[in-house]
Amino acid sequence: MMKARLFLFSMLFPLLVYAQLEETQVVITDGLSNAQLKGAIEKNISCFLMSCNTAVMNGDKPKVDKTLTDDARKALSAMWKMSPMSCPVSKIEEICLETPDGYQVRNIPVSMMAADDDDKDQELVLNLTRNGEIDNISIAIEGHKYKEIMDSHESVEDLFRRQVIVDFVENYRTSYNRKDLKYIESVFSDNALIITGKVVREKPKSDFAMRSLSPERIVYQKKTKGEYIASLKKVFASNSYLNVVFDEVEVIQHPKLTDIYGVTLKQEWNSSRYRDVGFVFLMIDFQDELHPLIQVRTWQPEKLNGKVLARDEVFNLGDFDIVRSLVND
């Protein structure tokens, strides 16, 4: 009898936790002087999170018609198909940042229900309109890395671009999680250079070769934008779940062409059929300040012959000749 009661409690415990967290409250601690707008943003984000918690408990979809714009509802719907999410805390205190189009609140903790245990705990970034409606939802990079990137700015213009880059990287990552081919296609230049690498194991011809040569090497393949998008389409179709995580993000401005930036990051790719870890390099062109484009994307495996690739072995800005007539679309 006691075992039956313990089993029943273990089944009910997650529901009790979610029930307690249904009343999630968001408090903006700084960044807004307009009390009415501050109240609207707090209410909208709180309602959004409570709707997610309720939907998880009921096995339903969030009812968020009054707090999200059409674009944000589409983004949430795509993310929800990949993984329902809930907010594991009852009170959130965060600052509000001003952006060119409105406002932004970062570091919103959520649990991704479909993710593996190691990947469940993530954070959202919510972009809001000037009226306080949630206009975009993306998965955040780590808070300390965000601060490090922003603190490294060398001018007001560089600070603005770094904010755009962070938003860009977070939306780029989230587009994979929600299988948004349209967005991914829109951020690549039509002339983009895409390089992928894979590790192949050499077959030694003698005992001496086995002792003297590295058994593994990286083989690189170039792809056009069209080929890359076609390949991604197949990957998205063949995987029911996809979680892409970006870590160790590093942002470098070109020393001469100051509207060109290099972004290096470690990518963890987790899908229902395949997992890998590798380094991604993006060369991003800011000739159109509000609509940057990826001109180069490379991927390399994290390890070769059991050792993590050294930084000088990872692609960077110095590996590519930039010709302005070719950079422009």
Residue range(s) in the chain whose domain bears CATH number 3.10.450.50: 177-327
Q: Inform me whether the pLDDT recorded for 174 exceeds 70.
A: yes
Q: Inform me whether the pLDDT recorded for 126 exceeds 90.
A: yes
The tens digit of pLDDT for each residue in 237-278 reads 988 888 888 888 899 989 889 889 999 999 988 887 888 899
Which tops the pLDDT comparison, 323 or 292?
292
Question: Which residue blocks in the chain are alpha helix, DSSP H?
Answer: 2-21, 35-58, 70-82, 143-151, 156-177, 181-186, 207-212, 225-238, 324-327
pTM: 0.78
Q: What is the 3-state secondary structure (H, E, C) of 90-110?
A: CEEEECCEEECCEEEEEEEEE
Q: Which CATH architecture has domain 10-140?
A: Roll (3.10)
What average pLDDT score do residues 18-36 get? 81
Cα separation, 319 vs 113, in Å, equals: 40
Residue 281: strand pairing partners? 264, 298
Report the pLDDT value the prediction gives residue 216, as an integer from 0 to 100.
Answer: 72
Record: fold of 177-327: Nuclear Transport Factor 2; Chain: A, (3.10.450)
Residue 75: strand pairing partners? none
